[in-house]
């Protein structure tokens, strides 16, 4: 199965790309810096959402995305799917009593975004 890091590409930044980095690069004796790009995940279409089973979970005190992922997907590393699907990047954006949607099956949803 895919992970949130599967979609990233490595890019190289040199002093010619970013003058503001030139001092840092030179201080470290480097010619460039390689880093990962930020992934852009496309939200599923209405048709794709209709093909999923959506379980609703009422947010309680102590809930965490990783705990929900472990409960519903059997693996805590897919916490980001629940956060992304609900458009809630961090738990602090959720209040006790809010309804969180858990899209299933996970393999279908991952297929839509890869």
Domain that holds residue 12: 1-40
- Digit-by-digit pLDDT tens for the chain (114 residues) are 445 555 566 666 655 555 666 777 778 777 777 777 777 788 899 999 999 999 999 999 999 999 999 999 999 999 999 999 999 999 999 999 999 999 999 999 998 886
User: Which domain CATH number covers 63?
Assistant: 3.10.350.10
Q: 26 Cβ partners below 8 Å, 6+ apart?
A: 15
Residue 43: DSSP 8-state: P
Residues 89 and 105 in one domain: yes
Q: Rounded distance, CA 12 to CA 64, Å?
A: 35
Residues 95 and 58 in one domain: yes
Beta bridge partners of 32: 14
Residues 57 and 94 in one domain: yes
Residues 71 and 91 in one domain: yes
Q: Rounded distance, CA 110 to CA 60, Å?
A: 26
Residues 50 and 99 in one domain: yes
Residues 68 and 106 in one domain: yes
Total-model pTM:
0.68
Residues 36 and 50 in one domain: no
Domains: count for the chain: 2
């Amino acid at each position: 199965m895919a992970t949130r890091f599967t979609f990233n590409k490595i890019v190289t930044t040199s002093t010619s790309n970013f003058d503001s980095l030139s001092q840092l690069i030179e201080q470290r004796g480097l010619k460039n810096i390689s880093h990962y790009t930020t992934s852009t995940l496309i939200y599923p279409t209405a048709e794709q959402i209709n093909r999923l089973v959506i379980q609703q979970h009422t947010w309680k005190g102590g809930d965490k995305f990783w705990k929900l992922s472990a409960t519903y997907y059997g693996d805590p590393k897919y916490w980001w799917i629940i956060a992304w699907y609900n458009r809630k990047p961090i738990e602090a954006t959720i209040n006790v009593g809010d309804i969180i949607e858990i899209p299933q099956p996970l393999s279908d949803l991952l297929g839509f975004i890869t």
